[in-house]
Amino acid sequence: MKTAHDLVAAAKARITEVAIDQAPAAIRAADVLIDVREADEYQAGHIPGAIHASRGMLEFRVSSTPALSPRDLKLVLYCKTSGRAALAAAALQDMGYLDVQSIAGGFDAWVAAGQPVALPAMPAFE
């Protein structure tokens, strides 16, 4: 029987992972940056410019969003540490997307590298 670790390792063997030092350039070159973490993780802080599509809903979200239908879009994905993003990247490849990358180390590596984080705006009380 396969474990989650086995599934992630198999996914990582067939996807492209971008090293954290090359992630900013990959994001600039991408058409879409997708955060596949859960909604509460995204709301707590995310990479600027990222759209949210949790791993559990990713295939449904991209299938129902016309702007995400072209299979030649350059997609960069991330999660907390890279496991969910690897599984998501493999799923998108299975759906026919041709240029999918995952950020090695995920959001944790992004933060550790001192990269910018978008935080939710706090309401102004007057």
Q: Using an 8 Å Cβ cutoff, are 13 and 31 in contact? A: no
Distance between CA atoms of residues 35 and 105, nearest Å: 13
**Number of structural domains in the chain:** 1
Q: What is the pLDDT of residue 93?
A: 98
Residue 78, burial from CB neighbour count under 10 angstroms (0-12, 13-18, 19+): buried
Q: What is the mean pLDDT of residues 78-89?
A: 98
Judge whether 117 lies within some domain.
no
Q: What is the pLDDT of residue 7?
A: 96
Q: What is the pLDDT of residue 116?
A: 97
Query: Chain centroid to CA 47: how far?
Result: 10
Judge whether 66 lies within some domain.
yes
Mean pLDDT of the chain: 96
Q: Using an 8 Å Cβ cutoff, are 85 and 46 in contact? A: no
- Distances 49 to 32, 34, 52, 77, 97 between C-alpha atoms, Å: 8, 9, 10, 12, 20
Domain of 39, CATH number, reads 3.40.250.10
Distance between CA atoms of residues 115 and 96, nearest Å: 31
Judge whether 126 lies within some domain.
no
Judge whether 39 lies within some domain.
yes
- Structural domain including 97 reads 4-110
Judge whether 53 lies within some domain.
yes
pLDDT tens track for 91-113: 999 999 999 999 999 999 999 99
Judge whether 124 lies within some domain.
no
